[in-house]
A and B are shown apart, each in its own frame.
Chain A
Amino acid sequence: MSIAPEGLKVDKVHVWRGDRHVLQGVSMEVHPRELLHVSGPNGTGKTTLLRVMSGLLRPEQGSVTWRGQSIVRQRTEYQAALAYAAHEPALKGDLTALENLHFSVGLKRRSTVAELRAALDRAGVASCAELPARVLSAGQRRRVSLARVLAMQASIWLLDEPYANLDAAGSDLVSELLQAHVEEGGLALVVAHRDLALRCPVRRLELNS
Chain B
Amino acid sequence: MTVGAWEAFSLVVHRELCLSFRRPEQLFQPLVFFLIVTTLFPLGLSLQLSALRDIAPGVLWVAALLSSLLSLDSLFKSDADDGTLEQLVLSGQGLTLIVVAKTCAHWLVTGLALVIASPIVATALGIPTSAFATMMLSLALGTLTLSWLGAIGAGLTIGLRRGNVLLSLIVLPLATPLLIFGAAATDRAISGSSTAGAVYFLAALCVFTCTLAPWAATAALRITLE
Contacts and interface: CB of A to CB of B under 8 A. Distances in A.
A88 B82 CA distance: 8
Interface string B79-95: 00011101111111110
A95 B94 contact: no
A179 interface: no
A209 B141 CA distance: 54
B3 A93 contact: no
B52 interface: no
A91 B18 CA distance: 14
Contact of A90 (B14, B23, B82): B82
Given A56-B89, A84-B86, A93-B82, A76 B19 contact: no
B3 A58 contact: no
Contacts of B89: 56, 79
Nearest to B23: A94
Nearest to B20: A94
Interface in B1-28: 1-3, 7-8, 11-12, 14-15, 18-19, 22-23
Given A79-B90, A79-B92, A95-B18, A109 B82 contact: no
A86 B82 CA distance: 11
Interface stretch (A19-27, A99-107, A118-126, A198-206): A99-107
Contact of A107 (B1, B23, B92): B92
Contacts, number: 81
B23 A91 contact: no
A57 interface: yes
B93 A107 contact: yes
B225 A56 contact: yes
Contact of A110 (B3, B19, B84, B86): B3
Given A56-B226, A94-B23, A110-B1, A104 B84 contact: yes
A76 B86 contact: no
A104 B87 contact: yes
Q: Does more than half of chain A's interface fall in helix, strand or loop, or is it mixed?
A: loop
A63 interface: no
A57 B90 contact: no
Given A56-B226, A99-B18, A103-B11, A76 B94 contact: yes
A56 B15 CA distance: 22
Given A107-B8, A110-B3, A92 B84 contact: yes
A37 to B, nearest CB: 21
Nearest to B16: A103
A128 interface: no
B86 A86 contact: yes
A55 B90 contact: yes
Contacts of A84: 86-87, 90
B12 to A, nearest CB: 7
A54 interface: yes
B83 A90 contact: yes
Interface of B: 1-3, 7-8, 11-12, 14-15, 18-19, 22-23, 82-84, 86-94, 225-226
Given A82-B90, A90-B84, A95-B15, 20 more contacts: A54-B86, A58-B226, A76-B92, A79-B92, A84-B86, A84-B87, A88-B82, A90-B87, A91-B84, A93-B82, A95-B18, A95-B19, A103-B18, A107-B12, A107-B88, A107-B91, A107-B92, A108-B3, A109-B1, A110-B7
